């Protein structure tokens, strides 16, 4: 089983749609969680950190469920510019430091 697993893509949605991405992690030593987006052939850009209390930034809402080892990202009112690959990222301390990136979920928003 992969340490960080994401929904397989791609997601094809119309503008204005709400879309949700899920991510599960297997190691309970995981300590911090993030969502990044990556455009084609560019560097990953931080979208938001993820907290147990949930956090919201405009149209984006992230949630962490430690008991279920599950992270989610909700995008409301999708824009064409939201088209990208969304990466779930987990930092863990297992005696050594590790950052694990999920394989990513590709989103296409169409007019």
Q: Which stretch binds another protein (CB under 8 A): 10-18, 44-52, 58-66, 70-78?
A: 44-52
Our finding on whether 26 is near another protein (CB under 8 A) is no
Q: Which is nearer to another protein, 43 or 68 (CB)?
A: 43
Q: Which is nearer to another protein, 17 or 103 (CB)?
A: 103
Q: How far is the CB of 97 from another protein (least distance, A)?
A: 4
Our finding on whether 1 is near another protein (CB under 8 A) is no
Among 49, 55, 61, 69, binds another protein (CB under 8 A): 49
Burial of 13 (0-12, 13-18, 19+ CB in 10 A): middle
Cis peptide before 29 (omega within 30 of 0): no
Q: Which residues of 35-72 are buried (b: 16+ CB within 10 A; e: fewer)?
A: bbbbeeeeebeebbebeeeeeeeeebbbbbeeeebebb
* Tokens 């007019």 -> residue: 111
Our finding on whether 62 is near another protein (CB under 8 A) is no
Our finding on whether 57 is near another protein (CB under 8 A) is no
Calpha distance 89→70 (Å, rounded): 12
Judged by the rule CB under 8 A, the positions of this chain that interact with another protein are: 31-32, 34, 41-46, 49, 87, 91, 93, 96-104
């Amino acid at each position: 089983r992969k340490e960080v697993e994401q929904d397989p893509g791609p997601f094809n949605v119309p503008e204005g749609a709400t879309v949700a991405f899920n991510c599960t992690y297997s190691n309970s030593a995981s300590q911090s969680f993030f969502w990044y987006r990556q455009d084609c052939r560019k560097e990953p850009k931080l979208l938001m950190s993820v907290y147990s209390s949930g956090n919201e930034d405009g149209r984006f809402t992230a949630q962490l469920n430690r008991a279920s080892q599950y992270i989610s990202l909700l995008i409301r009112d999708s824009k064409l510019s939201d088209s990208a690959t969304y990466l779930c990222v987990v930092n863990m301390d297992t005696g050594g430091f590790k950052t694990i990136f999920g394989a990513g979920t590709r989103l296409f928003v169409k007019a």
